[in-house]
A and B are shown apart, each in its own frame.
Chain A
């Protein structure tokens, strides 16, 4: 009986998420849904995001009411075909809830690990096993948690590594020269230290430029590059964002800065701001960010465009951009070599991998499966 019933549970987005709240249902009981359909908006302490159905079938029950906190893993809806009776559904939900034990927050799945690479202690989070691994490289001011909507989904089929660049997250705060080249060398040394061979690189913003540089320097060890809202393809950069990010010390200074990252400003939650402030308080972060700013974005412009050398890239490369990106203009995706595939997503800003995670995940998954 229960094989015919599929529960939809509160997802876990990111390491720290223990509970979430459905703030709107986009599908009603009785609706036929496909996997990937946007069926709800879920708010977590960190971010609000659309939730895509992981399963297909008829949505028979909406279990979680809106605006109520639900632990991760708890049933929020039930999908079943018409053969299942209402009584069976009720019994299923009752049993599920009776047996449900919220995840122990102290044992919440994979934990970040550290590795010594080229004199630095670098932090990374591994999820999944097998295949050619995906390595996620965040951008300026980010960290491995920025891939919370992507890594778990993509880790179902293969090993994935989200890393913290030097100067970021839990990694050493020594950024060396602070330019994309120095960062690319650090990422390569991390891959060496972890003895990872060939990888699919997924880089965001500054991390996109870093990923392309790695592919240029070590074509043999890169299977593909996905560059999201990437740096390295033109001069423009919203230096107000960079400078505001560096100088912001208080929530009210930081909020408008972080709101520049997304198409819909309401996505920026108080926890997201707090996490950034906590990061910025760490010893050495200010110097690290200043150093990157003064080399990679000196004079308010991106240094070292990769356009002259893009033709030398010997690996499949795709570029994904949010149409409403306020940090690096979407126009930087124009006029790329024919070998590049370009995907511009509507309704997204500089964080399409968060704002439109399913589309981005599908594109990354495709590149990684090719």
Chain B
């Protein structure tokens, strides 16, 4: 088992599933790059190089560069999924959902129910999210709460390289449409990732830390921040449980409630905008089910309700940083 980056883990998952099942195809804008151009083929491998190397191995018939036409190709991926392929479409930035959302939430998400259970839609939409690279308001949003809101979609938020590979393979093998969120600031994060294929089941939260004093529920990249905070506070004798729900739909309600009950003190960390996000959802869940166990009000750590700013200093202020999480945990622990 070798150390691999989040990027490599995703690439490995795609390649392994394409080798395993010829119905798996990938498509997206410059997912290989160089289509129709006189120069290098597989020039990009996606804007972050995540799909580099797939085109040389699997060819243009299974690694499809698309025009910049999200409505058409995300819809085509949904249609292909309903008719026998297992497409993995890359929506470069989740912010671009605005131009193709109908095909995801009115079409792909609904087929199974609307058609009385007779359709399967094994579609994966891989998409980049999150702030941290000064990509500004139209390339930095989280938006997973929007997808989580839609019945029929599954939503995965891998918080590390190991998680990314297992959750992506699960997503590809899943017969429901899955929106797979990749945090753009995590592609170089490394950890041990098995060479072999493995799956991480949906709806099963992971406890990345276990402690007695405060339960931190965190999503995606925020899990890493929460871990840092938990490790730091342990030296000050505040021990934390960190819950990584892994998927927001399905959501492992049982583990969240159980862990909230164990410590009675809860901080929820969500990089998504604060109204109707996972922090509000999880807080409501805990309040409804574990109210009597709470020893302090739940604290939410989220960005302010503003678009993501461009200037690095402003963006730093925007992101729920480890410092803000630490302050919240200390406050809840002392309350």
A-side interface residues toward B, CB under 8 Å?
106, 170, 249-251, 270, 278, 281-283
Contact A250 B204 (CB under 8 A): yes
Contact A282 B204 (CB under 8 A): no
A281 to B206: give the CA distance in the assembly, Å. Answer: 14
Known pairs A106-B3, A170-B1, A281-B166; A251 contacts B194 (CB<8 A): no
Known pairs A106-B3, A170-B1; A283 contacts B197 (CB<8 A): yes
User: Which of A106, A250, A270, A278 is close to B210, meaning CB atoms less than 8 Å apart?
Assistant: A270
Q: Please encode chain B, from 19 to 33, with 1 for each CB lying within 8 Å of some chain A CB and 0 for all others.
A: 000000000000000
Known pairs A106-B3, A170-B1; A281 contacts B199 (CB<8 A): yes
Q: Besides A251-B207, A283-B199, 5 other CB < 8 A contacts?
A: A170-B196, A249-B204, A278-B198, A281-B166, A282-B196
Known pairs A106-B3, A170-B1, A270-B210; A282 contacts B201 (CB<8 A): no
Q: Kindly provide the distance from the CB of B253 to the nearest chain A CB, expressed in whole angstroms.
A: 14
A149 to B200: give the CA distance in the assembly, Å. Answer: 30
A278 to B195: give the CA distance in the assembly, Å. Answer: 12
Q: What residue of chain B has the Cβ atom nearest to residue A281's Cβ? A: B198
Chain B binding surface, main DSSP class: loop
Residues from chain A with a CB closer than 8 A to the CB of B200 are 281
A250 to B200: give the CA distance in the assembly, Å. Answer: 10
User: Which of B194, B197, B204, B207 is close to A278, meaning CB atoms less than 8 Å apart?
Assistant: B194
A-B contact pairs, 10 of them (CB 8 A): A170-B195, A170-B196, A249-B201, A250-B204, A251-B207, A270-B207, A278-B162, A282-B196, A282-B198, A283-B198
Residues from chain A with a CB closer than 8 A to the CB of B166 are 281
Residues from chain B with a CB closer than 8 A to the CB of A251 are 207
A270 to B197: give the CA distance in the assembly, Å. Answer: 23
A282 to B194: give the CA distance in the assembly, Å. Answer: 9
Q: Kindly provide the distance from the CB of B331 to the nearest chain A CB, expressed in whole angstroms.
A: 26
Contact A283 B3 (CB under 8 A): no
A251 to B200: give the CA distance in the assembly, Å. Answer: 13
Q: Please encode chain B, from 95 to 116, with 1 for each CB lying within 8 Å of some chain A CB and 0 for all others.
A: 0000000000000000000000
Number of A-B contacts (CB under 8 A): 26
Q: Kindly provide the distance from the CB of A249 to the nearest chain B CB, expressed in whole angstroms.
A: 6
Residues from 167 to 200 in B contacting A, C-beta threshold 8 Å: 194-200
Chain B interface category by residue count: 10 to 19
Q: Kindly provide the distance from the CB of B301 to the nearest chain A CB, expressed in whole angstroms.
A: 25
Q: Kindly provide the distance from the CB of A259 to the nearest chain B CB, expressed in whole angstroms.
A: 16
Q: Kindly provide the distance from the CB of A310 to the nearest chain B CB, expressed in whole angstroms.
A: 37
Residues from chain A with a CB closer than 8 A to the CB of B199 are 281, 283
Q: Kindly provide the distance from the CB of A44 to the nearest chain B CB, expressed in whole angstroms.
A: 15
Residues from chain B with a CB closer than 8 A to the CB of A249 are 201, 204
Q: Kindly provide the distance from the CB of B5 to the nearest chain A CB, expressed in whole angstroms.
A: 14
A250 to B162: give the CA distance in the assembly, Å. Answer: 17
A250 to B210: give the CA distance in the assembly, Å. Answer: 15
A249 to B199: give the CA distance in the assembly, Å. Answer: 11
Q: Kindly provide the distance from the CB of B203 to the nearest chain A CB, expressed in whole angstroms.
A: 10
User: Which of A106, A250, A270, A283 is close to B196, meaning CB atoms less than 8 Å apart?
Assistant: A283
Q: What residue of chain B has the Cβ atom nearest to residue A270's Cβ? A: B210
Residues from chain A with a CB closer than 8 A to the CB of B201 are 249
Q: What residue of chain A has the Cβ atom nearest to residue B16's Cβ? A: A283
A73 to B106: give the CA distance in the assembly, Å. Answer: 59
A106 to B1: give the CA distance in the assembly, Å. Answer: 11
Residues from chain B with a CB closer than 8 A to the CB of A278 are 162, 194, 198
A278 to B210: give the CA distance in the assembly, Å. Answer: 18
Residues from chain A with a CB closer than 8 A to the CB of B196 are 170, 282-283
Q: Kindly provide the distance from the CB of B171 to the nearest chain A CB, expressed in whole angstroms.
A: 14
Q: Kindly provide the distance from the CB of B14 to the nearest chain A CB, expressed in whole angstroms.
A: 15
Q: What residue of chain A has the Cβ atom nearest to residue B196's Cβ? A: A282
A57 to B206: give the CA distance in the assembly, Å. Answer: 46
Q: Kindly provide the distance from the CB of A364 to the nearest chain B CB, expressed in whole angstroms.
A: 27
Residues from chain A with a CB closer than 8 A to the CB of B194 are 170, 278, 282
Residues from chain A with a CB closer than 8 A to the CB of B3 are 106
Residues from chain B with a CB closer than 8 A to the CB of A281 are 166, 198-200
Q: Kindly provide the distance from the CB of B23 to the nearest chain A CB, expressed in whole angstroms.
A: 17
Residues from chain A with a CB closer than 8 A to the CB of B195 are 170
Residues from chain A with a CB closer than 8 A to the CB of B198 are 278, 281-283
Q: Kindly provide the distance from the CB of A48 to the nearest chain B CB, expressed in whole angstroms.
A: 15
Residues from chain B with a CB closer than 8 A to the CB of A270 are 207, 210
A170 to B207: give the CA distance in the assembly, Å. Answer: 25
Residues from 132 to 176 in B contacting A, C-beta threshold 8 Å: 162, 166
Residues from chain B with a CB closer than 8 A to the CB of A282 are 194, 196-198
A270 to B207: give the CA distance in the assembly, Å. Answer: 9
Interface centre among B166, B198, B201, B204 (most CB of A within 10 A): B198
Residues from 198 to 223 in B contacting A, C-beta threshold 8 Å: 198-201, 204, 207, 210
Q: Kindly provide the distance from the CB of A172 to the nearest chain B CB, expressed in whole angstroms.
A: 10
Q: What residue of chain A has the Cβ atom nearest to residue B199's Cβ? A: A281
Q: What residue of chain B has the Cβ atom nearest to residue A274's Cβ? A: B206
Q: Kindly provide the distance from the CB of A160 to the nearest chain B CB, expressed in whole angstroms.
A: 20
Q: Kindly provide the distance from the CB of B206 to the nearest chain A CB, expressed in whole angstroms.
A: 8
Residues from chain B with a CB closer than 8 A to the CB of A106 are 3
Q: Kindly provide the distance from the CB of B75 to the nearest chain A CB, expressed in whole angstroms.
A: 31
